[in-house]
Structure 1
């Protein structure tokens, strides 16, 4: 009987029952091959399993994960990070949002460097920006569904799933359409904002699957509340941004005009 090299307890199986350390085996070719197989196959299995279940019923998938059925699922926050990275790569490198936005503004005779930088960042990294707002969205959905049993941290997980669905919709539906509209900057720019309107539909689909015993009407009312609270939060952020702009202009003086004046 071997002893665990991590905690010293006896090891009778492949893993230590006390600390979870894997049974000792010398690092050789077989070890490296096995580790690669385990890492790649287990990761892909969890990722593909989660994608399949999210596309079938995202709310039910989140409910299963929160209720404890987690061994086969990809971790939701990690999944949202991964999908957001894929989305950013496609929008920035393959579609080329920044170049198209620059083209659009040149056609409109408006070429403010600051505006182009802001728009190119927000459109190219749309999912990543939303990812950073998950803690705030968790507060909003917690308020909207405050009597239905889930705590704040469970709402963070729920919003990670919602973001994953939104990102998948962008990757599978919105981005292919935008790719074929690259040559028409005006039509591209008008179409690029349409994905935001899928969010209420995704939320209704998600929460109806999560709270399957609740009526569609009650879900709809709470999604409207989420939209209202999010809009109010957005207005507050705009006000704070304007205040920050005034502070920046006050500190920089006339030099600040170089960032906003058209070239």
Structure 2
């Protein structure tokens, strides 16, 4: 016969149950307000004030801290990446996790504005555009590739390895995507066919310029550069980024079209 697991014994809940120097989560001896073995705070008897206090502490120290640190990346991607690379990782979001979250939010915004879904007359054309749209979602990482390549070509001898420069590139790409979401707000708030056409025609140009400027700011923060002494290096990295991003976008678009035509049997 399979032995039955021990049944919990009835326990009378009282204030004395919580007046103990043992952790009520793992049973280890407590030497302070938090358990050294499992990390739980010393438990107090549940009450209205306890629920409110613990709910606020969890929101304040976890959810709000995570959001606050993620928002801090926006004006200071280089500083955040520098601190992360130098070991201050507990209070900073992982760059790849932050990038995936940013891409997810951007896809929601683009889906709301139908930015990647033009209206076409034939069903076959719509199916082709659906394939192109699916592959185009991967293009949101091209900025990180261009940013990393420009950093590596200009600053590879400054003592940072590939992984450390890639960390900065991923933080920068998350900021690029956040800027793109802000750029979509006019289409969400006051969409019109004229605005939509203007936005599609001019957005790539001014967004590339804005992303280039943000990359230069991030590099200055990350490498602690001086504008007067190292300004030419920052300008060179920015120019390389803009050129590489444009070229990568063109090559990726051509590859997507060829792949879709092959899948459609054209």
Instruction: Give the structure-1-normalised TM-score.
Output: 0.67
Q: How does 1:43-192 map to 2 (within 5 A)?
A: 43-51=63-71, 53-93=72-112, 95-99=113-117, 101-102=118-119, 112-118=125-131, 120-121=133-134, 125=137, 129-131=139-141, 134=144, 136=145, 140=149, 143-144=152-153, 145-172=155-182, 174-179=183-188, 180-184=190-194, 185-192=196-203
**Structure 1 portions without partners, runs of 5+:** 250-255, 258-263
**TM-aligned CA distance change 1:54 to 1:133, over 3 Å:** closer
* Structure 1 position 15 matched with structure 2 position 26: no
CA contact (8 A) 1:11 1:23 kept: no
Q: Give the Å deviation of 1:208.
A: 1.7
Q: Which has the larger radius of gyration?
A: 2
Structure 1: distance between partners of 2:131 and 2:217: 31
Structure 2: distance between partners of 1:14 and 1:200: 49
Structure 1: distance between partners of 2:110 and 2:257: 28
CA contact (8 A) 1:181 1:188 kept: no
Q: Which residue of 2 aligns with 1:209?
A: 221
CA RMSD of aligned residues (A): 4.0
Q: Which residue of 1 aligns with 2:204?
A: 193
Q: Which residue of 1 aligns with 2:6?
A: none
Aligned residues: 237
- 1:205-251: CA deviation from partner (whole Å, max 9, x where unpaired): 211221223502112223434455556655665676577557646xx
CA contact (8 A) 1:80 1:161 kept: yes
**TM-aligned CA distance change 1:63 to 1:218, over 3 Å:** same
Structure 2: distance between partners of 1:192 and 1:110: 29
**TM-aligned CA distance change 1:35 to 1:91, over 3 Å:** farther
Instruction: Give the structure-2-normalised TM-score.
Output: 0.66
Moved more, 32-41 or 198-207: 32-41
Structure 2: distance between partners of 1:120 and 1:246: 14
CA contact (8 A) 1:47 1:79 kept: no
